[in-house]
Amino acid sequence: MTSYWDYLKLDSILDAQYPITEAGDEPLFIIIHQAFEMWFKLLIRELRRTIKQIGLRDIEGATHYMHRVNVILSTSAHGFDVMDTMTPAAFQEFRDALIPASGTQSFQFRELETLAGMPKARTVDDKKKYYWEDTPDASMTIRLFMEKYGERLKAVEEEVAAGGSLRSTFSRLLLRETGKPSLLEAANSATGPLASLVHEVKAFDHGLIMWRDKHVATTKHAIADSPGTAMNEKGQLPTTSCVEYLQHTITVQQRLLFPEFHE
Ligand code: HEM
Is the dihedral angle over the CA atoms 115, 121, 123, 128 positive or is it negative?
Answer: positive
Of all protein residues, the one whose alpha carbon is nearest to atom 37 of ligand 1 is 104
Q: Is residue 9 part of a domain?
A: no
Q: Is residue 219 part of a domain?
A: yes
pLDDT, residue 255, reads: 73
Q: Is residue 182 part of a domain?
A: yes
Ranges of H-type helices in 15-58: 26-55
Of all protein residues, the one whose alpha carbon is nearest to atom 26 of ligand 1 is 33
Q: Is residue 195 part of a domain?
A: yes
Question: In a mutational test of the pocket of ligand 1, which residue from 36, 219, 237, 252 has the highest number of ligand atoms less than 8 Å from its CB?
Answer: 219
For the CA atoms of 247, 39, 154, 200, the dihedral, rounded to the nearest 10 degrees, stands at: -70
Of all protein residues, the one whose alpha carbon is nearest to atom 2 of ligand 1 is 219
Of all protein residues, the one whose alpha carbon is nearest to atom 42 of ligand 1 is 103
- Give the CATH number for residue 136: 1.20.58.480
- Vertex 77: Cα angle to 69 and 124 (nearest 5): 80
Ligand 1 centroid–CA 103 distance in Å is: 4
Question: In a mutational test of the pocket of ligand 1, which residue from 30, 215, 247 has the highest number of ligand atoms less than 8 Å from its CB?
Answer: 215
In this structure, the number of other CB atoms found within 10 A of the CB of residue 102 comes to: 20
Give the C-alpha distances (Å, rounded to integers) separating 16 from 9, 31, 33, 35, 193: 11, 9, 12, 12, 43
Of all protein residues, the one whose alpha carbon is nearest to atom 43 of ligand 1 is 103
How many domains would you assign to the chain?
1
* Residue 206 CA to its chain's centroid (Å): 13
Q: Give helix 107-116 / helix 140-163 axis angle, nearest 10°.
A: 30
Q: Is residue 134 part of a domain?
A: yes
Q: Which atom of ligand 1 is nearest to the CA of 80?
A: 27
Average pLDDT per 10 consecutive residues for the chain, totaling 263 residues: 97 98 98 98 98 98 98 98 95 91 91 88 53 53 87 95 96 97 96 98 94 91 72 68 66 72 78
Ligand 1 centroid–CA 64 distance in Å is: 30
Q: Is residue 92 part of a domain?
A: yes
Write out the residue range of the structural domain in which residue 64 sits: 16-262
pLDDT, residue 226, reads: 64
Q: What is the pTM of this model?
A: 0.91
Alpha carbon distance 238, 235 (integer Å): 10
Q: Is residue 10 part of a domain?
A: no
Q: Is residue 2 part of a domain?
A: no
Of all protein residues, the one whose alpha carbon is nearest to atom 28 of ligand 1 is 33
pLDDT, residue 165, reads: 97
pLDDT, residue 238, reads: 65
Q: First vs last Cα of the chain: how many Å apart?
A: 58
